[in-house]
Chain A
Amino acid sequence: MERTEILNIMNMIMTKKGRSEITDESQSTREVNFRSLDFSETALRIEFKIGTELSFEAASMRKIETVKDVLDFFEEATKGV
């Protein structure tokens, strides 16, 4: 899935929760208040879109710190799906 599409999903969740849209990939998820359940909701929305369950490796999820990491993670997870 394209990065822009993933970011759109993340921003849809952010605005739904009354938070500002994310514009800077280098910001930490904590800084922009993108919480762990927002990550889960992003994953579910992507799963619904692509019609298959994503598999998550706990180790690679633990490394996520910035918005860029989230985008990289989902870009990788949806590769070839």
Chain B
Amino acid sequence: MYTTGQSIIVSGGSRGLGLHMVTQLLEAGNKVATFARSYTKEVGALSEKYGDSFYFAPLDAVDVNGVTAFVNAVCDKFDGQLDSVVNNAAIGQDQLLMHTDPETIQQIVNINIVGPTLLTRIAIKRMLLQGSGNICNISSICGSRGYAGLSVYAGSKGYLDAMMRALAREVGEAGIFVNCVAPGFFESEMSSVLRPEQLDTIKRRTPSGKLSNDENIFKVVDLVISGTTNMQGQVVFVDGGITS
């Protein structure tokens, strides 16, 4: 583990990759805060095990006042410090654009674009005053490569990559590092819409012959937010080489 002793926010840490990252970061001695719309029993278990080092709030990523109050509460609980933010919360898509209803389009844009932008905006204010910080967006290979049925989702991930590059230029001088980790498909509730034969096709086309798992992705996130590299404004692919 590279990241230890930090105060960290991971959005969407109630299940899937987010839950794995929260668990590993707590295990490594970090203070970790997370939010999701609903509470899960795994969140309850983390509260019991890690006490004051862990903070969860039920919150929708698009609730401007709620996100601001959450960041303020985290800073109060974690001695005023906010070292890293991992923008992980997102929703997927499983339909051709022509069959995706306007409400769903709006929802994807709100949760996957507006949500992380709001959280990042508040976090960088804190980080600017501290003179240090790390922002890591979980984007996706879909942000750089075309996959049918994922057009709006792909656009939202491409947005994260593009915003990250501009932001790195805006705040890099203040000791704030902004990067993206772009996973290939991995098993989770989000990718459960893929049929087994689709997953097999993806595996066959992947040079490493296997999908990434939570731990593969977390290992890269851990390094990115550790503050031990000089990596700035980059998208790191963790996809077994499918985009190579």
Contact = CB atoms under 8 A, between A and B. Distances in A.
A37 B129 contact: no
Chain B residues touching A, range: under 10
Contacts, number: 15
Contacts of B174: 37, 41
A37 B125 contact: no
A37 B173 CA distance: 8
Interface in A23-81: 35, 37, 40-41, 44-45, 48
Q: Is the interface of B mostly helix, strand, loop or mixed?
A: helix
Q: Is the interface of A mostly helix, strand, loop or mixed?
A: helix
B173 A40 contact: no
B85 to A, nearest CB: 17
A40 B121 CA distance: 13
Chain A residues touching B, range: under 10
A36 to B, nearest CB: 9
A16 B173 CA distance: 14
Interface string B120-152: 000001001101000000000000000000000
Interface of A: 16, 35, 37, 40-41, 44-45, 48
